[in-house]
Structure 1
Amino acid sequence: MSTTFAAKKAKILQQLAVPDASSTDIQPGDCVDVGIRELVDEINKLDTLATTSSCAGRFAVYLEGKDPNSSQSSLGEGDGQWLFISHDPLPLSGNGSVAPMLGLSDHTELSVPSSAKGVRWVRCKFEPMFLHVLSSSLESAQKIHTAALQSGFRESGISSISTDNLRTSTAMVAIRTNDLVFDNIIGYEGPDGRLIPMVTEAYMRILIELGNQKFQANKARTQQFQNALLASFGPPQAQYSGPCAWEPIEQRRVRMREDDIRRKADAQRTTEDSARSSQ
């Protein structure tokens, strides 16, 4: 492991040494979401890996930004605004309106703009877990990439490879999937700045219910990835130091073969010593 990677990892771990993110945060932050904290901790215990950014998965409502050089609304975040974010399933009990919770005016004011030109749309999204991991070697990068693909994060990839020679290569691994994503327009910003819903209360509740289903699938997939990762690398504190420590199966097989050879050699020497002493 290069000193450059070790220095980067030390800085990352220092930045991560903050309280867990709250699921009620309106603005996305740099701290780790509660739902992914265990996975992030497990990865950062491995000498050759360091997480750089992450999200446990989220249900969010977002007002698009506006490109000042265009009459069209901007699909990027830019000067847009997060209206609502949750990293956990949302309760649907009660008969209260969900539109205000999502940042919109009351749903009784349904309307649509007369034209799509220049409109700032309100979008309701579900985005699954994503993770960026810096690796100190291409071998480790390939291991985590394989674990991601096997767990359903099919859009994962390896990038930003830098190397002086093969032994000191570093790479960034992005763990992600588009399989669970949805993105729906549910409202728009009116001329007076009010955020006006375009869909009914029942439709918004269906989106929340769908989001809750996505949360469950996302949780299962994330756990599958964590299991595959640990199976590939072994438990984070699995440096074998004796019979009582955790030992990877291949390492155990090698040790048992060596022990068997050693026992046979000892037995052969004992036999030879006995033969000489009896003469």
Structure 2
Amino acid sequence: MKGLTLPASPPSFVHRKERILAQLAVPEQEYTDASPKGSVDVGIRELIDEINGVEGFVTTSSCAGRVSVFREGRRKGTGVGAGAGAGVGDGEEGLEQGNGDRDGVAEGEGEGRKLAGVGGKGGGGNWLFVSHDPVPLEGDGEPERDLETLLGLKGIRETENQEVGDGQGDGALRDVTATRLVHLKFEPMILHVLTASPEHAQLLLRCGLQAGFRESGAVSLTAPAGEQHATPMVAIRSMGLSFESLIGHQSGDGGDKIHCTVSSAYLRTLIRIGNERFVENTKRIERFRAALAEATKPSNKNEEAWEDAESRRRRKREEGLRRREMLEKSKCDDAKVIDVEDEVLDIPLDVNLT
């Protein structure tokens, strides 16, 4: 690594990395993972390959960034148990290289086992729409689009005359616990990277913070019981680009109609904001990619390594002493030459030199 020496990867890390890379090496048409998309995002595949190609690092989950519409799970109803429900894997056997730790489970996955909690997880929560790229709109070289259909809002629009809670016509939900809310979200890139040591984790965190992923962090900084080496998990992420808006709801009584509570113009505004943030997200990914490449570039033997202030002062002092010694030695040599020249000049002119 450029400018510093990182410890060797412990055998436990090497073994785990081999298992993860074996999963990623499966042909694309056969590959699947625990993410909703089921595969690695195209927009981040090269970055993942570059990270995994460096000793001491391996990705366990990732998402290039996305705009999505998410319908919460059922939070109240009959015939829904209170079991724990099945979770996803830990980044190895349950690899999630496609979409990181985003919330929600597939439709029906949690039904009969788990009610949705605050935020809508479990209970059949699902994505109505997901895009890992900007969504083209009219004026971008595209014809006008029916956004409500595109975003999965195939229901009816909320109106002032429609009863929602007590029939007062103010559009307020009187019992949110019996309602499945619908969210539109933009989420920037997120990476989870298993590292071989705290030193590896520190290097990766520094690259992420420099690139603008300011909410990056690390866990498992100390070795677990029974193991000699810590292998921290680093999350590269930024909440600054994220946003979320409620755009509709669905009755919790089993009805399948989604009530869109915002106008088409507002939906277009949200999509345009998301498209702008995709651009900034891409810039930060490229900055992170460049910073990591520079930090992990093999050292040039002819390139001076970084040194702290005290080391620099000591080196400069030693160099100064060497220069003074050389100067004094040079003066002595010059003096000898002068003596020789004087001797030559003192030779009598009548001496026959032939």
Corresponding letter in the other structure for 1:31: S
Q: Is the 8 A contact 2:75 2:116 kept in 1?
A: yes
Deviations 1:35-76 (A, max 9, x none): 000110000000110000000000000001123569997414
Paired with 1:96 and 1:2, the residues of 2 have a C-alpha distance of 54
Identify the residue that residue 105 of structure 2 maps to in structure 1.
none
Identify the residue that residue 277 of structure 1 maps to in structure 2.
none
1:41 aligns with 2:49: yes
Identify the residue that residue 250 of structure 2 maps to in structure 1.
189
Question: Structure 1 length normalisation: TM-score?
Answer: 0.77
1:168 aligns with 2:191: no
Matches within 5 A, 1:1-279: 1-18=9-26, 28-68=36-76, 74-78=118-122, 79-93=124-138, 94-105=143-154, 110=159, 113-114=164-165, 115-117=174-176, 118-163=178-223, 168-190=229-251, 192-234=255-297, 238=298, 248-249=299-300, 251-253=301-303
Q: Is the 8 A contact 2:197 2:231 kept in 1?
A: yes
Check 1:76–1:19 CA distance in 2 against 1; reply closer, same or farther (3 A cut). Answer: farther
Paired with 2:221 and 2:37, the residues of 1 have a C-alpha distance of 27
Larger Rg: 2
Check 1:112–1:12 CA distance in 2 against 1; reply closer, same or farther (3 A cut). Answer: farther
Paired with 1:112 and 1:230, the residues of 2 have a C-alpha distance of 58
Contiguous gaps of at least 5 residues in structure 1: 22-26, 239-247, 256-279
Check 1:42–1:105 CA distance in 2 against 1; reply closer, same or farther (3 A cut). Answer: same
Corresponding letter in the other structure for 2:241: L
SS in 1 for 2:148: coil
Contiguous gaps of at least 5 residues in structure 2: 1-8, 30-34, 77-81, 83-113, 166-173, 306-354
Equivalent pairs counted in the alignment come to 237
Q: Is the 8 A contact 1:73 1:120 kept in 2?
A: no
Q: Is the 8 A contact 2:116 2:125 kept in 1?
A: no
Q: Is the 8 A contact 2:75 2:179 kept in 1?
A: no
Identity %: 41
Tell me how large the CA RMSD over aligned residues is.
Answer: 2.7
Once the 2 structures are TM-superposed, how far is the Cα of residue 99 of structure 1 from its aligned partner?
0.4
Question: Structure 2 length normalisation: TM-score?
Answer: 0.61
Corresponding letter in the other structure for 1:197: C
Once the 2 structures are TM-superposed, how far is the Cα of residue 167 of structure 1 from its aligned partner?
8.2
Once the 2 structures are TM-superposed, how far is the Cα of residue 18 of structure 1 from its aligned partner?
4.0
SS in 1 for 2:268: helix
- Structure with bigger helix share is 1
